[in-house]
């Protein structure tokens, strides 16, 4: 069960990254496409919510998370217990704030709002992902 959750969580990351890049790059000032604009940001927010739920389940079931004495001295345990979790929670809240602010703004302010909140969240996500070259024993998928 743990392996299935881990692979789902790792695979869904690519979908989330591509969606965030698309939402950031997309021009949100096109007249007449208000519903489509909200749908892409909403879909990105929902995918991130699924990622968060999977991550919380993995947080409490993974052997890579530990609160035993001295875990801060072991880089892999510290990364998954503190750094990855905190970074992703901050990124999730930025996406959530950006999405709900977007719903209340006039359409001429959407580009700036989306690019600020989703852009900072994407940067934090990229820094918080356990990439294979960081030495934590994880794979690309």
Q: What is the number of structural domains in the chain?
A: 1
Q: Which letter, b or e, does each residue of 69-90 get, where b requires 16 or more Cβ atoms within 10 Å of its Cβ?
A: eeeeeeebbebbbeebbebbee
Q: Is 128 inside any structural domain?
A: yes
Q: Is residue 139 part of a domain?
A: no
Q: Is residue 29 part of a domain?
A: yes
CA distance 93 to 90: 5
On whether residue 140 sits in a domain, the answer given is no
The answer to whether position 64 is within a domain reads yes
What's the token pair of residue 14? 């690519």
State how far the Cα of 66 lies from the Cα of 78, in Å rounded to an integer: 8
In 10 A of CB 49, how many CB atoms?
Answer: 13
Residue 130 makes CB contacts below 8 A (sequence gap 6+) with: 79, 80, 84, 136, 138
In a domain, 141, yes or no: no
Structural domain range at position 111: 2-134
Kindly give the confidence (pLDDT) of every residue in the chain, 141 residues in length, as a single tens digit, with 9 standing for 90 and above: 878 888 888 889 999 999 999 988 876 655 555 555 557 888 999 999 999 999 899 889 888 888 888 888 877 888 888 888 999 999 999 999 988 888 787 767 777 888 899 999 999 999 998 887 777 666 665
Task: Give the span between the Cα atoms of 75 and 136, in whole angstroms.
Answer: 8
Within a domain: 106: yes
Residue 61 domain-assigned (yes or no): yes
User: What pLDDT score does 38 carry?
Assistant: 57
Q: How far apart are CA 71 and CA 56, in angstroms?
A: 19
């Amino acid at each position: 069960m743990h392996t299935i959750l881990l692979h789902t969580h790792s695979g869904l990351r690519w979908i989330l990254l591509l969606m965030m890049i698309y939402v950031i790059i997309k021009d949100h000032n096109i007249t007449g496409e208000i519903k489509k604009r909200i749908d892409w940001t909403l879909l990105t927010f929902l995918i991130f919510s699924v990622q968060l739920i999977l991550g919380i389940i993995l947080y409490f079931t993974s052997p890579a998370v530990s609160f035993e004495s001295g875990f801060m001295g072991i880089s892999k345990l510290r990364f998954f217990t503190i750094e990855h979790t905190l970074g992703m929670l901050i990124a999730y809240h930025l996406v959530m704030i950006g999405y709900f602010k977007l719903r209340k703004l006039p359409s001429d302010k959407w580009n700036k709002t989306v690019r600020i909140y989703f852009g900072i969240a994407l940067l934090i996500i990229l820094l918080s992902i356990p990439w294979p070259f960081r030495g934590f024993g994880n794979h690309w998928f």
